[in-house]
Amino acid sequence: MIKELSHIGIAVKDLDEALEIYEGVFGLEVEKIQIVEEQKVKIAFLHAGETQIELLEPTEEEGAVARFIEKRGEGVHHLAFAVDDIEAALQKIRDQGIAVVNEKPRIGAEGFKIAFLHPKSTKNVLVELCEK
């Protein structure tokens, strides 16, 4: 079902400040920056080898990433796994008793179909499935 680790989402308060570390210290390069209005975030996309890193800065106080930072502080927000067929993957996961945040996939950053699994069912890790 899982093909590969697609990306790691990291919640940050200040994208420019985070980029000073990820670009300036680690030497990673920003591929693009995108605002996803629906998710109320501004995302910087970087690659570390085959894995993409998404730095997620909230654009509004009531968004999910803003709430995450308020409760837990900055840090790893989610792990995203690539799947070939997100609808089939969601059904298989639900059949195994895993709670989902999104009953049906939606369109996320970069136009991919995405769905999140509830962290209470995945040992407190927010897991995203994405179909490219």
Distance CA(128)–CA(108), nearest Å, equals: 10
Task: Say if CB 47 and CB 30 are below 8 A apart.
Answer: no
DSSP per position, 10-63? EE-S-HHHHHIIIIIIT---EEEEEEEGGGTEEEEEEEETTEEEEEEEESSTTS
In this prediction the pTM is: 0.94
pLDDT in tens, 5-43: 999 999 999 999 999 999 999 999 999 999 999 999 999
% of the chain exceeding 90 in pLDDT: 95
Task: Say if CB 1 and CB 92 are below 8 A apart.
Answer: yes
What is the CATH class of 2-131?
alpha beta
pLDDT in tens, 94-103: 999 999 999 9
